[in-house]
Structure 1
Amino acid sequence: MGTYLTPIITRTRIGLRGLAGKVLAVDALNSIYQFLALIRGPRGEPLRRSDGKITSHLVGLAFRYSRLAIDYSCRFIFVFDGPPHPLKRRELEKRREMRKKAEEEFYRLISLGEYEKAFSKAVVAVTVDDWIIESSKRLIALMGWPVIEAPHDAEAQAAHIVSRGDAWAVATLDWDALLYNAPRLVRYVTITGTEWLPSKQRARRLEPELVEMSVVLEKLGISRRQLVEVAILVGTDYNEGVRGVGPKKALKLIRTYGSIERLPESIKKSIPGYEDVLNIFMKPIVYETYRLEFREPDYEGLEHFLVDENEFSEDRVKTLLERLRRAWGKQLQAHLDMF
């Protein structure tokens, strides 16, 4: 879920054209969760093949990113989470419990025929298993894009990749990439341009937004370390935060006192061990060396994987393969034009 910083972060709408020709480091699980929540059948159930294995994520990965590749000449580096940091395990356990309750409510509503209400629970009830992760990695590799597994948090590794100039921005909905010092972050990289809001029972129109670290810090008048301390006061995946303190109040506190260390003891006692959380963001564990190889898609392998193994429509897969052929051709031509 990441840290809630939305009210204080400056964003610029750039549209899909603002992504043209860019390489994006994608927070893979962030995208996969979106597909699992939103790509569903008429009764709110995820799409499945005949043996029951879920395929909603494969539909989303194949068709969103092939469209972005052909229409906007984008390329992608998909970064997956590694084993969770010990401090994050408690948060992950809370999320599992929340999803379990939402899943139970989802099936109760389905049994009553209340499909619209059930869909709102489906968005929360999403779970990811080994099949979903491994099948996603296989599909991405067949499409010719690099797959990297981070030591811990995918956003930390993605931020590092962008910082080194191997990608233009981190593509994620979460703000944690900023805390990990990503120079640029792009939100809402989507073709359909809508997001379902469960609490309001409606969808809203979305457009890609660019967030630049230098702009954020200048507007807020704080340092990156202070931004991380604002996040710690609000609460992160690694700590609970201070009760009753949201982004605006946290920002005011840090501006007033300069740091958590100088806060009144009545506030500071609510975040024991904050130094460990600060260190996670300021000195993230990442791989300094990684392999980035953009390859021509394995068209035959893709057809076998999607049609034969996962029961996709042959016509839809032919459309996908044609897109990828054209996108690869455009990429080769652009490379030749450089010489």
Structure 2
Amino acid sequence: MGIHNLAKLIADFAPSAMKEQEMKSYFGRKIAIDASMCIYQFLIAVRSDGAQLANEDGEVTSHLVGLFYRTIRMVDNGIKPAGTKLWVQGVIPKIFHITFLQIRVRRKPPDLNWRIVKRKERRQEAEKELEKAKEAGDTENVQKFERRLVRATPQHNEDCKKLLKLMGIPYVEAPGEAEAQCVALVNGDKVYGVGTEDMDALTFGTKVMLRHLTASEAKKLPVQEYSFNKVLEGLNLSHEEVCRNPLRVQSNMLDFIDLCILMGCDYCGTIRGIGPKRAIELIQKYKNIEAVLENIDQKKYPPPEGWLFKQARELFKHPDVTPAEDIELKWTDPDEEGVVDFMCKRFGFNEERIRNGCQKLKKGRKGSTQGRLDSFFTVVANKSSNKRKAEEMNGKKSKKAKGSFKKRK
């Protein structure tokens, strides 16, 4: 998912756009987390024997384990005073008539089914490979293809929402893509950045994107922070400050959107034979896909039949989101007894461990109430060097004059 090879392209052409940080560097920050991606990551976590985490009744609990402990870890590192982070859950854009966790095809032309068809093809291929691996007794590949067949269910979704509420964590149910809703909150100054593994958060125009924020602590992965403006600078694409209105996109970032579509996004196919390096060269030269199509040899580089790049562009330009000003983020004290009742009595978790986790959550909340130092200051634009030099020259001349000076008001 996301933009194919965008992280590698940035590493090659705009290395200064990404910096690695420790999680504690985000002390006091509010972060919007793409929950749809996280829930999937938690569900594919398996034990050493290859099975998913489950209780005695066989109910999968991987999503709850991941959500509970990763949330506590971030609170423990001081992320968001009086709260931890924002989890955003979303659905796939309505142009494809797909709802989050549930695909519903409703009488649309075959060419609009690109994303659905590709998912179905990948799933069918994974099922075939899984059967082969089982017959061959290949445990490693069995686990690999079982992960590819994992799907979140509406019940998993409801479980996570209930746990977040009990932990005092706000969440937003996005009308469209979760990443796009996160970006709307960033650009509306509700939160600092987007926490997601999907690189298309940059295509939606987020000012700051954070990867590996919800990774397992055992992996010891540093947080990767991407700056949107530095990405555009490094790729030599025209840019200005990201528009504060998440529903509008300045025309000078459309070249970046078209670059991402050329590289391969979730919404449509791409031109066979054009990789990341060729894509950036073409966009730098021609600025948009229409001009690219006019200037390439389409026999050598055939575009997909009925290519929906214009529709994909519109989805990135005008995503279906709730405006940031209409969203109130409210963090509350965790309900320890409610968490214990839900996690232990309902799902059979160890009560001592859950209570210890709740105590960590409470302690982290109290310890993170101190604001960041940079929140107490306002950035003021510097005067021009010429004006400053003129003032310095006037100051030198005034020293030569006799008389007293006036006290500054």
TM range (shorter): 0.7 to 0.9
Aligned pair count? 327
Question: Quick one: which of 257, 262, 283 aligns to 2:318?
Answer: 283
**Where does 1:175-254 land on structure 2 (aligned, <5 Å)?**
175-190=199-214, 192-193=216-217, 206-223=221-238, 224-254=253-283
What corresponds to 1:198 in structure 2? none
Does the 8 A contact of 2:271 with 2:303 survive in 1? no
- 1:327 paired with 2:364, answer yes
What corresponds to 1:202 in structure 2? none
- 1:86 paired with 2:115, answer no
What corresponds to 2:402 in structure 1? none
**Where does 1:50-129 land on structure 2 (aligned, <5 Å)?**
50-74=56-80, 75-82=84-91, 84-87=93-96, 89=98, 90=113, 91-99=115-123, 101-102=125-126, 105-106=129-130, 109=133, 114-129=138-153
Deviation at 1:124, TM superposition (A): 2.0
The one-letter amino acid of 1:152's match is G
- 1:256 paired with 2:285, answer yes
- Unpaired runs of 5+ in structure 1? 196-204
Answer with 270-279 or 144-153: which moved more: 270-279
Does the 8 A contact of 1:185 with 1:212 survive in 2? yes
What corresponds to 2:103 in structure 1? none
Deviation at 1:95, TM superposition (A): 2.2
- 1:33 paired with 2:40, answer yes
Deviation at 1:92, TM superposition (A): 3.9
Deviation at 1:83, TM superposition (A): 5.2
Answer with 40-49 or 87-96: which moved more: 87-96
Does the 8 A contact of 2:270 with 2:303 survive in 1? no
Structure 1: distance between partners of 2:129 and 2:341: 37
Does the 8 A contact of 1:47 with 1:55 survive in 2? yes
Structure 2: distance between partners of 1:111 and 1:315: 42
Structure 2: distance between partners of 1:301 and 1:111: 46
Question: Quick one: which of 48, 52, 56 aligns to 1:46?
Answer: 52
Structure 2: distance between partners of 1:280 and 1:323: 41
The one-letter amino acid of 2:314's match is N
What corresponds to 2:167 in structure 1? 143
- Relative to structure 1, the CA distance from residue 64 to residue 104 in structure 2 (aligned partners, 3 Å threshold; closer, same or farther) is farther
The one-letter amino acid of 2:34's match is D
What per-residue deviation string (whole Å, max 9, x for no partner) do you get for residues 81-118 of structure 1?
Answer: 13543348531453244245435654764686543332
Question: Quick one: which of 26, 31, 38 aligns to 1:19?
Answer: 26
Does the 8 A contact of 1:26 with 1:172 survive in 2? yes
The one-letter amino acid of 1:15's match is E
Does the 8 A contact of 1:162 with 1:170 survive in 2? yes
Structure 2: distance between partners of 1:111 and 1:159: 45
Structure 2: distance between partners of 1:106 and 1:306: 32
Structure 2: distance between partners of 1:212 and 1:142: 33
Answer with 157-166 or 120-129: which moved more: 120-129
What corresponds to 2:387 in structure 1? none
Deviation at 1:34, TM superposition (A): 1.2
Does the 8 A contact of 2:30 with 2:79 survive in 1? no
The one-letter amino acid of 2:66's match is G
What corresponds to 1:317 in structure 2? 354
Percent identity of equivalent pairs = 30
- TM-score, normalised by the number of residues in structure 1: 0.88
What corresponds to 1:201 in structure 2? none
Structure 2: distance between partners of 1:63 and 1:212: 28
Answer with 280-289 or 110-119: which moved more: 110-119
Deviation at 1:257, TM superposition (A): 1.2
The CA RMSD over aligned residues, in Å, is 2.5
Secondary structure class of the residue paired with 1:25: strand
Secondary structure class of the residue paired with 1:285: coil
What per-residue deviation string (whole Å, max 9, x for no partner) do you get for residues 32-74 of structure 1?
Answer: 1111112x22321111123332110100010011011023344
Secondary structure class of the residue paired with 1:72: coil
What corresponds to 1:199 in structure 2? none
What corresponds to 2:344 in structure 1? 307
What corresponds to 1:6 in structure 2? 7
- Relative to structure 1, the CA distance from residue 206 to residue 334 in structure 2 (aligned partners, 3 Å threshold; closer, same or farther) is closer
- Relative to structure 1, the CA distance from residue 131 to residue 105 in structure 2 (aligned partners, 3 Å threshold; closer, same or farther) is farther
What per-residue deviation string (whole Å, max 9, x for no partner) do you get for residues 236-256 of structure 1?
Answer: 111101112222211111111
Structure 1: distance between partners of 2:217 and 2:127: 26
What per-residue deviation string (whole Å, max 9, x for no partner) do you get for residues 259-306 of structure 1?
Answer: 112123425854733222111111222111123111111111100010
What per-residue deviation string (whole Å, max 9, x for no partner) do you get for residues 147-172 of structure 1?
Answer: 11111101111000011111111000
Does the 8 A contact of 2:202 with 2:209 survive in 1? yes
What corresponds to 1:273 in structure 2? 308
